[in-house]
Amino acid sequence: MDRSVRRRRVVIASVMVVAVCLVGLQGANPARAAGVVTLNLYIGGDTNIFDLWKKAFLPAFTKRYPQYKANMVELLHDNGSEGIYAKILAAKRTGRTVDVDLWETTPGFLDQGIAEGLWVKLSPKLVSNVTKVPAPTLEAVDYYGLPYRGSSVVIGYNSQFIKNPPQTFDDLVAWIKANPGKFTYCDPNTCGSGTAFVTAAIYRYTSAEKFAAKAYDTKDEAAWAPGWKLLKELQPAMYNNGFHPNGNVAVLQLLAQQNIWMASVWSDMGLDWYSRGQLPKTMRFIQITPPLMGDDSRVMVPAGSAHLEGALTLLNWLLTPEAQTMVIDVVAGYPGIDWKYMPESVRQKFIDVAKAFAPWPNPKYLADIKRLWHEQVVGG
Amino acid sequence: MTAVQAAAGPSAPPWFWAIAGMRRALALGAFLALAAFILGPLLTLLVWAFAGAWLFPNLLPEFSLTWWSYVLGNADVVKAIRMSLLTAPVATAASAVICIPAAYAFARLEFPGRRLLLLSFLSANAFPKIGLYVSIATLFYRLDLMDTFAGVVLVQMINTLLFLIWIPTGTFRGINRTLEEAARDAGAGPLRTFFQITLPIALPGLIVAAMFAFLAAFDEAQGTLIVGTPNHITMPVMMYTLVLSYPQPVGAVFSVLLSLPSLAFLLLAQRYLRAGYLAAGYSL
Amino acid sequence: MTESRRQGALGLALVLPPLCLLFFLVVVPAVTAVVETLAPGPGGSAGLTVARYAEVLSAKVIRTDIAFSVVVTLISVAAVFVLGYPLALYLRFSPGRLASLLAVVFTIPLFVPVVIASFAMITFLVNHGLVSTVLYRLGIETFPPLVYNATGIVLTEVWASLPFAVLILGAGLQAIDDSLIDSARDVGAGRVRTFATIILPLNAIPTRITLTLLFISVFGSFTIPYLVGGNAPQMLGVTMTNYLTQYLRRTDAVTMAVLAFVIAAAVGVVYVASVSRRERDV
C-alpha cells in the first residue's frame, strides 16, 4: 500500500515536471524575432540537393534579404510527400493559410495540385525573372511550377572492367546481355535515373517528343509495347536476377561495392560521389546516343502560403545568375534560365553539355510508365 | 565462449529438454545463433559508423571519425530528439489517463456493445493511415492544431490506443475478483478499492502496456510529418532522410545517434521487462 | 435491473473518452475513405458502387501483391512464433545468468526504430555486406540473395517482432503455477504432453493477443518491405503508396487501404470471437 502511494507521488511529480517543461517550451519560441519572416521550405530529393539549398542558396539569399530566415524540411527520395500534399490540400479546403511556402517535389504532385488549384500561377508581374526561363519549360506546366535547375542521366561504368564502353543505346543493350548481373537501374518509383533508362527503351521504338508534349491519351500507350518487351527480356541479365534498388544512391552504392560495373546515374550525383572518394577511382561517365533523359526540377509555391511575398522573392532570386551559378558549381547541374543570361565564363565552360538530353515525358504519361513498368516488367 | 558456458553451468537444466547434455548443447547453440542474428546487424552498423571507407572484400574498413564531425554539426537533430522526448511521454501519459479506466470497464463491467467497441480499437492500427491523411489534416486545421505541440501529441496518441486498451483489459480480466469483493465487503468504496487493491496488482501489466505505447508514440512518423511540420519535427520524421542519406557511413552514424535515446529507455525499462515483473499482466 | 443499468452507464462513460478520440481521428476519416471508394466515378450515376473494387481486383499485379502480403505475413508470424515460444519457455524455466543475458539481448530490437533496423539488416546481409564478406574469406563465393526479396522482408520482420512475442508469451508463462507443471510431471506426462495439455491451453490468451497483433503489424508494415523488399511482388503498404504518390491513382490506393483493413479486421474478429468463446466456457 505504502509503495503504491509513493509510486503515485512519483507519477504526479513527473506529470508536473513535464507540464513545466511544456510551459517553458511555449515561452521560448525563437521564431518570433521582430521583423524577420521565417520561410518554410520543403525540399524533396537526394542529399546533394539538400546541400545545395542548405549550404549555398539559403545563406546567400538570407544575406541578400536579411528580412527573411529559412526553415527547411528535408524529404529524402520524396518520402512522406503524400503527407505534405495532404497538408496543402486540407489547408485549401478549410480556407487556412499553409506553412508550406515552397515545395520541391516530383512532377506527379505538381500535376495533381494544378487540378486542385493549389499553386501560384507564375507571371512576370509576380516574379520578374521568369522571363529569363525558356518559355517551353514553363508552358509544359502551365506556369505553375518553376524550373530552376536541370540535370541529365548518363551511363556510369567502371573502367577497371570495361575498356570499350557502349556508345549507343543498342550497344548498351548488347553489353547488358553479354554481361549478366553487372548492370541495373533503380526502381523508377524511387528515382529519375531508373526512369531515364526505362524511357530510353520506350523512346527506342517511338518518338520522345510525342510523350513529352501536353496531350494525354492512354490509347497512344500501345506504342510502348516493344519497349516493355525489351525491358522484360533484359530482366534476367540485371543485377541479382532482375533487382532494381530504391533510389539513385542505392545504385551508386552497388557501383561502389563493385556489385555492378555499369548503371544509369544522374550526372550531377555521380560526379559528386566521385569527387568525395565514395566511388572507385576507375569510375567514368559517358552520354550515349540518343542521349538519356534530362530533367528540369521544379519548385511550387502553394497559393495558400502564409508568407507569399517572401516565397516569391525567393523564387525571383533563384533565377538570378548568382543562384544559377551555384547550381553549376555545387551540384554540377544545368541552369534553369536560358544560357544567354549566364555569365560569360560559365557559358564558355559548359557550352557543350547544354541540352544534350532527351525530354522527360509529361506527368500523366510518367505516372503510367511507372505503373506499367511494375506491371509489365517486374510484376507478373 | 567458455566464459558464457561457464556462466550457464550452475543453473539447473530446464525440465523440457533435460535429457542429454548433447541436446542441451544443441539448444544452447541455437540460442547463441539467434543472438548472433539479433546482434549482427547492429554490430555491422556500429562498424560502419566508424568507417572512412569500406570496400569489398575487406573484412574491416579503414577506421575514421570524419563522418562524426560532419554529423554532429547538425543542430536540427538535437532539436528533433528533444521534441521526441517531450511529445512521446506526454502522449503516453494522456493516453493512459483515458485508456486505463476504459480498459477496466471493458474487463469488469457489462454494457451494451462491449465486444464490438473493444474490437473497434483494432482499427486504429489496422486501417492503413495512407487513406486518412487528407481527412486528418482537414480536422487538425479546423481545430487549429496544425504545427502545435498538442496536435503532435494527439496524432501520436492514435498509435497508443490499442496497446493501452487491449493489454490492460487482459490484465484486469486476469485479476481475481474475490480480492476486490473482499475489499468492498470490508466497506471500501469502488474508487478506494480500485486504487488500493486493483491498481497495485495490475501495475506491472499496465507498465508493460505503457512501454509499448511509448514506443509506438515515439516511432510515429507519418502523422507527425503532416501535423508537426515545419516547427514541431520529431526524430522519426527526420529518420528516413538521415539514415538513408549518403555516403553510407553518415547513415550509420545517424543510426547510432538516433538509437541512443531508445537504448537509454531500454536500460530504464529493463527492470520492468524482467519476467517476474510482467507476470501479473496475465495471471489467469 | 437498475444495478445492471447503472453498470452499463458507468461502463459506457468510462470508455467514452478513448472512443471519442478513435471516432474523430480514425473512424470518421476511415468512413470518409470508404465512401470515396464506393462513389461512382465522374460521369457515373448516383448511388454507391463496388466498381472500384472490381477494377482494382481485376489487376493481376494487385491480386499478386495482396496474396504476397498475406503469405509473407503468415510466414513471418509463424517464424516469430516458432522462434519466440521456445525462447519464452527457456527464459521462463531456466534461471541463471545466461538466461538473463539472453533476455536483454532479445529485447534490443524492440527499442530500435524500424528504419534503422532495416538499414542495419541490409548492411549485414547484402551481397558484399558483412556476412557475405566473411563467407567469401572462408572460401564460399556464391552467396544467396538475402535482402531485396521476400526472404529479406521475413528476416527483418522476424528480427523486429521477436521481442514483442517473447515478452507477451513470457508474461503469460510466468503466470502459470510451477506446481501445475510439477504435478503433470509427477503423473508421468512427457515434456511434449505437458506442453500441449498444460502450458499451451493456460497460455492461450497471450498467445492469441500475440498472434493477432503480430499479424496486424506485419501486414500493415511499410518501412521494412519498402527498404528490404524487392520491386515486385511487393507488400500492400508499398503498393498503395506507389499508387498514391507515383501513379496518380489516389482512389485505387484508398480502395486497397480498405481491402487491407478488411483483411486485418477479419483477423481481429477471429481473436475476439475466440476469446469470447473462452469466456463463456469458463
Q: Convert the pLDDT of each residue in A134-144 to its tens digit.
A: 998 898 889 99
Instruction: Give the orientation angle of helix A363-373 with respect to helix A192-203, to 10 degrees.
Output: 90
Q: In the predicted model, is pLDDT for residue A4 greater than 80?
A: no
Q: Spell out which residues of chain A touch residue B55, defining contact as CB-CB under 8 Å.
A: 256-258, 280
8 Å CB contact of C245 and A78: yes
- For residues C78-98, average pLDDT: 86
A interface test, pick of C125, C147, C231 with most A CB neighbours within 10 Å: C231
Q: What share of chain C is helix, strand, coil (3-state, %, to 5)?
A: 80, 0, 20
Under a CB-based contact definition with an 8 Å cutoff, are residues B130 and C244 in contact?
yes
User: Residue B251: its chain C contacts at CB < 8 A?
Assistant: 119
B134 touches chain A (CB under 8 A): yes
Q: Which residues contact C73 (CB under 8 A, 6 or more apart)?
A: C215, C218, C219
d(CA A237, CA B17): 49
Q: Which residues of B touch C28 (CB under 8 A)?
A: 135, 139
What is the structure's pLDDT at B274?
61
pLDDT of residue A220: 93
Instruction: Output the pLDDT for position B264.
Output: 84
Please report whether residue C54 resides in a domain: no
Q: Which of A315-329, B191-205, B215-229, C59-73 has the lowest mean pLDDT?
A: B191-205
Rounded Cα distance, A257 and A279, in Å: 8
User: Rounded to a whole number, what is the largest CA-CA distance in chain B?
Assistant: 75
d(CA A195, CA A8): 59
Residue A149 touches chain C, beta carbons under 8 Å: no
User: End-to-end alpha-carbon separation of chain B, Å?
Assistant: 39
Nearest CB to B240; choose among C106, C115, C185: C115
Q: How many residues does chain B have?
A: 284
Residue of B nearest to C6 (CA): B111
| Residue linked to cell 548492411 | C123
* Rounded Cα gap, residues C44 and C55, in angstroms: 15
Contacts of A241 in chain C (CB under 8 A): 145
Instruction: Work out how many domains chain C is built from and give that number.
Output: 1
Contact C124, B46 (CB under 8 A): no
Is the residue at C44 inside a domain? no
Q: ipTM exceeding 0.95?
A: no
**Residues 248-267 of chain C whose Cβ lies under 8 A from any Cβ of chain B:** 253-254, 256-258, 260-261, 264-265
- Bigger pLDDT: A251 or B9? A251
CA–CA separation, C262 vs C254, rounded Å?
12
Asked if A18 lies within 8 A of B237 by C-beta distance, the reply is no
Touching B: A residues 63-102, CB under 8 Å: 71, 73-77, 79-80, 82-84, 86-87, 89-91, 93-94, 96, 99-100
Q: Pinpoint the alpha helices (H) of A94-207.
A: 107-116, 135-139, 169-178, 192-203
Mutate to test the interface with C, among A76, A106, A114, A243 (most CBs of C within 10 A): A243
At position C265, the amino acid (one-letter code) is A
State how far the Cα of A266 lies from the Cα of A162, in Å rounded to an integer: 20
Contact call for residues A146 and A130 (beta carbons, < 8 A)? yes
Contact call for residues B230 and A99 (beta carbons, < 8 A):
yes
Residue C31 forms part of a structural domain: no
Q: What is the mean pLDDT of chain C?
A: 87
C-beta atoms of B225 and A84 within 8 A = yes
Per DSSP, what are the bridge partners of residue A367?
none
- pLDDT of C42 > 90? The answer is no
Cell, residue A50: 539538400
Q: Is the pLDDT of residue A104 over 90?
A: yes
Burial class (CB in 10 A: 0-12, 13-18, 19+), B12: exposed
Task: Find residues 166-185 of chain B whose CB sits inside 8 Å of chain C.
Answer: 166-167, 170, 174
Give residue-wise pLDDT tens across range B160-201.
999 999 889 888 887 888 888 898 898 888 889 989 888 888
Chain A residues lying within 8 Å of C244, measured CB to CB? 82
What are the domain boundaries of chain A?
Answer: 34-150+295-350, 151-294+361-378
How does pLDDT run across C196-223, given as a tens digit for each residue? 888 888 888 788 888 998 999 999 999 9
Which residues of chain A neighbour B192 with C-beta distances below 8 Å? none
- C-alpha triplet A53, A56, A62: angle, nearest 5°: 85
Ramachandran assignment for A241, one of left (phi > 0), alpha (psi -120 to 50 degrees), beta (any other): left
- The neighbours of chain B, by the rule of 3 or more Cβ pairs under 8 Å, are A, C
Cell of B113: 456493445
The average confidence (pLDDT) of chain A is 87
Asked if the Cβ–Cβ distance from B131 to C30 is below 8 Å, we say yes
Chain centroid to Cα C108, Å, comes to: 18
- In one-letter notation, the amino acid at residue A337 is I
Alpha helix ranges (H) inside A42-191: 47-51, 58-64, 81-93, 107-116, 135-139, 169-178
Task: List CB contacts (< 8 A) between B132 and chain C.
Answer: 26, 29-30, 33
- In CATH, A34-150+295-350 is 3.40.190.10: yes
More confident residue, A27 or B83: B83
B·C CB contacts under 8 A: 309
| Residue C108, min C-alpha distance to chain B (Å) | 7
B91 contact C CB<8A:
no
Q: Do C97 and B11 lie within an 8 Å CB cutoff? A: yes
- The domain made up of B70-282 is a member of CATH 1.10.3720.10: yes
Assess if residue C201 is contained within a domain.
yes
What is the arithmetic mean of pLDDT over C38-56?
Answer: 80
Q: Which residues of A touch B244 (CB under 8 A)?
A: 76-77, 247, 249
Q: Which residue has the higher pLDDT, C59 or C184?
A: C59
C-alpha–C-alpha distance, residues C186 and A376, integer Å: 64
List, as ranges, residues 247-266 from B with C-beta within 8 Å of C: 248, 251-252, 255, 258-259, 262-263, 265-266
Q: What is the distance between the terminal CA atoms of chain A, rounded to a whole angstrom?
A: 64
Q: Which amino acid is at A267?
A: S
Cβ of residue C82 closer than 8 Å to a chain B Cβ: no
Range picked from A106-115, A184-193, B270-279, C70-79 for highest mean pLDDT: C70-79
B110 in reach of chain C (CB within 8 A): yes
Is C126 an interface residue toward B (CB < 8 Å)? no
- Which of B8, B125, B158 has its CB closest to that of C98? B8
Give CA–CA dist C77/C212, Å, rounded.
9
Q: Are C25 and B220 in contact (CB under 8 A)?
A: no
Report which DSSP code applies to C248: -
Contacts of C8 in chain B (CB under 8 A): 109-112
Among chain A residues, CA nearest to B53: A278
3-state secondary structure B33-62: HHHHHHHHHHHHHHHHHCEEECCCCCCCCE
Give the mean pLDDT of chain B: 83
User: In angstroms, rounded to a whole number, what is the distance separating the alpha carbons of residues C37 and C50?
Assistant: 8
Question: Residues C268-280: what's their mean pLDDT?
Answer: 72
How far is it, in rounded angstroms, from Cα A114 to Cα A48?
Answer: 28
Find the angle CA(C226)-CA(A362)-CA(A311) to the nearest 5 degrees. Answer: 80
Contacts with C, B 61-80, CB within 8 Å: none
Distance CA(C172)–CA(B279), nearest Å, equals: 7
What single-letter DSSP state applies at residue A292? P
User: Within an 8 Å CB–CB cutoff, is residue C129 touching chain B?
Assistant: yes
Q: Is residue B3 very low, low, confident or very high in pLDDT (cuts 50, 70, 90)? A: very low
Considering the domain A151-294+361-378 in this protein, what is its CATH number?
A: 3.40.190.10
**Where residue A240 falls among pLDDT bands split at 50, 70, 90?**
confident
Q: Taking residues B200-225, what's their average pLDDT? A: 89
